[in-house]
């Protein structure tokens, strides 16, 4: 997760980043209707629906 901080190619809002960090930490799938958030999760290699 530390390398996420240095990435500038993924535009995230503060709460989006928080949601990604929590789902990553608990190793759970992200379920969202936000296409931008889902795309960011995919780039980071996270499971999402």
Give the HSE-up count for residue 29: Cα atoms under 13 Å, Cβ half-sphere: 5
Provide the mean pLDDT of the chain. 86
Residue 35 — φ and ψ, nearest 5°? Answer: -65, -35
pLDDT of residue 10: 81
Within a 13 Å sphere around the CA of 38, how many CA atoms are in the beta-carbon half? 7
How many CA atoms are closer than 13 Å to the CA of 1, on its beta-carbon side?
11
Please compute the mean of the pLDDT values over residues 17-37 and round it to a whole number: 92
Quick one: average pLDDT of 16-43?
92
pLDDT of residue 3: 72
Over residues 9-30, the mean pLDDT reads 89
The pLDDT of residue 5 is 65
Average the pLDDT over each of 1-5, 8-12, 28-32, 34-38 and give the range with the smallest value. 1-5
List, in sequence order, every residue forming a beta bridge with 30; answer none if it has no partner.
48
């Amino acid at each position: 997760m530390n390398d996420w901080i240095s990435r500038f190619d993924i535009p995230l809002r503060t709460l989006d980043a928080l949601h990604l960090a929590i789902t990553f930490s608990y190793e759970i799938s992200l379920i969202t209707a936000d296409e931008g958030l889902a795309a960011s999760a995919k780039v980071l290699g996270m499971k999402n629906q």
